[in-house]
Structure 1
Amino acid sequence: MLVGYARVSTEDQDLTIQVDGLAAAGCEKVFSEKRSGTSTDRQALQACLEFVRDGDVLLVTRLDRFARSMADLHSMLSTLSERGVGFRCVDQAGVDTTTTHGKLLLGILGSVAEFETRLRAERQREGIDRAKANGVYKGKRATIDAQRVREMLADGANLRGD
């Protein structure tokens, strides 16, 4: 059985393109969710990994939709392999753990994806540091209304909630 997994990072993103691509590739069942790839709480992915059986092939549209890091990728692929489940990327032709060349390509692409993620994080950190040095970056906008807190304290509320 071909089983698909689709993921987007935020609620305002659309899963349609991924789900349609997986259906067109022949997936009989597709698990999908809107969760950050860095999240360790991807319930649809866990359900998908529990669902697949010996002889099944798990399909994703792209590698970055599936794994957070090389360690994460290798861990999940190892689990799938032990259970006799193959793995394929629809939009990254050649990434297919049911072939020797596909396994090689998977390792290379996984390393490149992790490298890109780390570069992106470094550039973001550099940009934030530069903005802070220029007095432009003030951090996350306050989510607490300071005036409301003062009013609550004046009305007898305390920080413990008693």
Structure 2
Amino acid sequence: MNPHNPLTHPGAHLVHERLGVGDAGELSGRHPYPSPLAHLASVVASCARDVDRLHRDLTERARTVIERLEPIARGDHASMRGVNGIIQSAGLQVELLTARRGATYEQLDKVLSAYERGAETDPPTATARRGASTTPRTPTAPRPRPTSEHNPPPPPGTTSRVPPGPR
């Protein structure tokens, strides 16, 4: 069962329907970090959040318009002589939010399709985790600390981690 309500979180709902994950952010943890699938997974999560945010913004704006129009719908507008711009630019804002939400939903659908195609050819490994790399790491020497005349490097052989400074 999908834990996300399509009326409040359509992006998260679609991700769960297509991929079966409760949180789109978990997808990137299924693949080694520098891989293309890890990148696609992060794009899926970002698109899902954008769809949900735009849906919330659209819903809130539509509620505002409805609240402004309710008195007129009830016939309670006889005393509104001389009032101009009852919904002002809210109608245009609703149109723009609707278009942006639709475009972002389409983008999410396309990114999900790309992720599904990639996952078919390269299924996630059980041990993949964020930050894992397929190339072996070699030990590196610690980076030298920047020096200045107020912060000279510690003398060789000292174990103090606190640099001497002006007192």
Higher helix share: 2
Higher strand share: 1
Task: Name which one, 1 or 2, has greater alpha-carbon Rg.
Answer: 2
